[in-house]
Amino acid sequence: MKKRLFLLTLVIAMVVVFTGCGGAGDSTELSAKELLKKGIDNAYNINTAEGDLKMALAIDLGETPDPQMEMLASMLQDVSLDLHSVYDMSTDAIKAAISGNLNASGMSYAFEMYMDEEKMAMKIPMMPKYLVQNLITEDGEKVVMDKTQAHELNKKVMDIMLEQISDDQISKQKDVEVTINGEAVKVTTVKVTFDDAQAKDFVKKAVKAVANDESLRDMIATQAVNQAKSFGDDMTKEEALADMDASLETMDADWDEAAKAFTINSLEMVSGLDANDQIISGNVVLDMNVSNPETPDASPVNVKITADTSMYNVNGTVDIAFPELTPENSQDMNDMSGFGM
């Protein structure tokens, strides 16, 4: 439980930095890496925004299907995800409302999520009530970082991750047309590409660099402790740091062993910056083969994931209406007895 909480905190922290979007400037003389860093740094000037995400998953079992994968693949055929998000960070607390649909095997599943400084509420398929998670522990500690803490963490993590990208992996292109909220907009794109070795090495080095940075270690351990408390689990900061160190000691061997099961054919991440050096669009394409060591004669499973993001109404007026929660329509996430769990 404790190790899972640490890993979850670390992964979320690293993923969040790639959602950065922001500010103003002149990109003409900047290199591709400098422009990307500027766009992400400018994100910290954003107080409110709306955004969309469209994601799709495609699976090909190959000529000799793995029997263990056929059932899973049938469930994941034609999977797509559509999200609309609204954020308000005009105060130090982060507020958000996210709604969307998950489409799979011809079925569509709607869901909602709301978050403010005190709680998070989710309405998910096949659950009759909102699931509510308190974001303040009994002793008053915050489970989720506030805006200042998140910005500090993101800046350091982003710098560490950019250091792992070589100049031959990153490029820029001007006057590329993208669609933002139904309108055509010209952007300068910054593309980062990875092959199999580069992607696997990047993950290993970036995670180790983040976990070995003293100030980040303290922030991540504090978040792990607060998350553990919110789930009713006792953990001290010393225990969180010990779990972190234990994970690092075996990380190389654990990661190398896990990496044998998949090959990344290509990974491309494209960010689109407008005339104000503000990241308003993104595109990620991951193409990989996954093998099952237990069925060496089966064809590798090809998995392709595409994701497109856009951001608009930056620093405009937003409306985040938290649903009215009552004992009849909501359930504490830590007490699932009402759902027969």
Please state, in angstroms and rounded to a whole number, the distance separating the CA atoms of residues 306 and 284.
6
Query: In the numeric block, which tokens belong to residue 4?
Result: 């899972």
Say yes or no to pLDDT of 336 above 60: no
Pairing verdict, β 330-332 and 130-134:
parallel
- In 105-239, DSSP assigns E strands to 107-115, 119-123, 130-134, 170-180, 183-194
The model's pLDDT over 207-255, given as tens digits with 9 standing for 90+, comes to 888 888 887 788 888 878 877 776 777 888 899 889 888 888 888 888 8
Helix (H, G, I), strand (E, B) or coil at 102: strand
For residue 100, the Cα-to-chain-centroid distance in whole angstroms is 16
Please state, in angstroms and rounded to a whole number, the distance separating the CA atoms of residues 37 and 48.
21
Confidence of residue 123 (pLDDT cuts 50, 70, 90): very high
Sequence-distant (6+) residues with CB within 8 A of 268 are 191, 192, 193, 194, 283, 284, 285
Greatest alpha-carbon pair distance for the chain in Å reads 60
Rounded to 5°, the CA angle 266-20-115 comes to 115
Domain segments of the chain as ranges = 2-77+145-318
Query: In b/e form, how buried is each residue of 21-33, taking b as 16+ CB within 10 angstroms?
Result: bbbebebeebebb
The model's pLDDT over 181-201, given as tens digits with 9 standing for 90+, comes to 999 999 999 999 999 999 998
Write phi, then psi, for 267 (nearest 5 degrees). Answer: -140, 120
